[in-house]
Amino acid sequence: MLRRLTLIDQIEFEIKQRISSGLWQVALPAERSMCAELRVGRNSLRAALARLKQEGLLMIEPGVGIKIRHSSGGMASQPQETVALLSPVPLGNLRPHQTLWIDELRGLLAEKEIIVRFHCESRCFRPGAAKAIAKFVKLQPASCWVPVHSTLTMQNWFQSSRTPCVIAGSCHEGVDLPYVDLNHHATCRHAAITFLRLGHRRIAFLTRLAENAGDQQSERGFMEGVAESEDRQAVGTVLHLDNDKRHTARVIGRLMARSDAPTAILVNQSYHYLTVFSILMQMGKSIPANISLICRDHDNFLSFLEPTPAYYGDDAKLFSKKMIRVLTSVMSGAASSNTRVNLLPELIMGSSIAPLALV
């Protein structure tokens, strides 16, 4: 009579499968990550891990992690190239456009028989996280890393450790690493110039606190666009938002109550655009009759708004293809550290922007 597999048996089988396939080569992920991936409770997972330890497959070191001693067949599996994406938030919490290029990247790398792993490890993105990054990267070896929303500390660590990586985004000043990003500096400079050419003289940029390089470049580009205007009455304002809609409402309320309130606003990303749009409508502001709006970034859900937002659009497939090109170069050792790809988005003129004469 065949024995029915228990949950512990199934977990043990799944772990062995990941080890033999080369998905987990040197160490297992953290328990919390495995519980989420395997969709099991911690007690069940630990029971399976204890069995594998008794079998001699795993070596559990408190405070260090769970290392793999050998494959389930008794011989070390052939190492397979892997690309590891490192993010401060789960995949489902990234902007839809970001998940699109990541999904496209998975497919393209799968054709090359390269495994893609996604790691959410917020500790690696905290201030002074160099030790946490070093420990995590050691436990999760990869052929190349792709940090998303990377901090200055993280970029400095990858540069100083010479760990192969390609930044999904821009490099901070003083960092010389390969990267693929949109040209936010040129985009925001163009947005400011576009507003000014339409006759707007008081314009604003609403953005997150500039913690990553792309947002810093956005602010500089926007203010450069204002500074290049021949009209001395042209004024540009940069205000910072967080992810709290109440905070955003207060910022916009104070901004629109000023005697020099802007007649045009550039918003940094789609989620903030939704919030800004709805708050302005609640204030009785008609778009673009009272105020013009442009979104720096784009996600498809914005197309359901009326009036249709003006935005800077880019191709997720093109982004992933550029990322593949740089990744394969880095993994082959052929790329220099200054391999940099800046993609220039195109302004899609929606119905949320109008000349000042119509405002």
pLDDT tens digit sequence for 177-194: 999 999 999 999 999 999
Judged against a pLDDT cut of 50, whether residue 23 lies above it is answered with yes
C-beta atoms surrounding 74 within 10 Å: 8
CATH 3.40.50.2300 domain extents, the chain: 82-176+324-333, 184-314+346-358
CA dist., res. 222 & res. 193, Å (int):
8
CA dist., res. 277 & res. 259, Å (int):
21
- Comparing 224 with 340, the larger pLDDT belongs to 224
223's enclosing H/E stretch is helix 213-227
Contacts 24+ apart (CB under 8 A), 111-117: 112/328, 113/80, 113/81, 114/80, 114/81, 114/82, 114/83, 114/143, 115/22, 115/23, 115/80, 115/81, 115/82, 115/83, 116/82, 116/83, 116/84, 116/85, 117/23, 117/82, 117/83, 117/84, 117/85, 117/142
Q: What is the pLDDT of residue 224?
A: 97
| Class of the domain covering 7-68 | mainly alpha
| Range of weakest confidence among 60-64, 154-158, 218-222, 319-323 | 60-64
Share of the chain above pLDDT 70, in %: 93
Write phi, then psi, for 309 (nearest 5 degrees): -65, 145
In the structure, what pLDDT confidence band is assigned to residue 80 with cuts at 50, 70 and 90?
A: low
Please tell me the pTM assigned to this model.
Answer: 0.77
| Class of the domain covering 184-314+346-358 | alpha beta
- Comparing 316 with 80, the larger pLDDT belongs to 316
Averaged pLDDT for residues 69-84: 60
203's enclosing H/E stretch is strand 202-208
By three-state DSSP, how is residue 23 classified? Answer: coil
CATH 1.10.10.10 domain extents, the chain: 7-68
CA dist., res. 178 & res. 283, Å (int):
45
Q: What 8-state DSSP symbol labels residue 243? A: S
C-beta atoms surrounding 234 within 10 Å: 18
- Comparing 71 with 139, the larger pLDDT belongs to 139
In the structure, what pLDDT confidence band is assigned to residue 79 with cuts at 50, 70 and 90?
A: low
CA dihedral of residues 33, 161, 108, 116 (deg, nearest 10): -20
Residues 6+ apart with CB under 8 A from 35: 41, 42, 45
Fold adopted by 82-176+324-333: Rossmann fold (3.40.50)
Judged against a pLDDT cut of 90, whether residue 277 lies above it is answered with yes
- Comparing 287 with 140, the larger pLDDT belongs to 287
| Range of weakest confidence among 20-24, 71-75, 89-93, 316-320 | 71-75
| Range of weakest confidence among 132-141, 197-206, 248-257, 291-300 | 132-141
Averaged pLDDT for residues 160-176: 95
Q: What is the overall mean pLDDT for the chain?
A: 89
Q: Tell me if 158 sits within 8 A of 145, measured CB to CB.
A: yes
Q: Which of 295, 255, 270, 266 is nearest to 193 (CA)?
A: 266
| Range of weakest confidence among 75-79, 204-208, 338-342 | 75-79
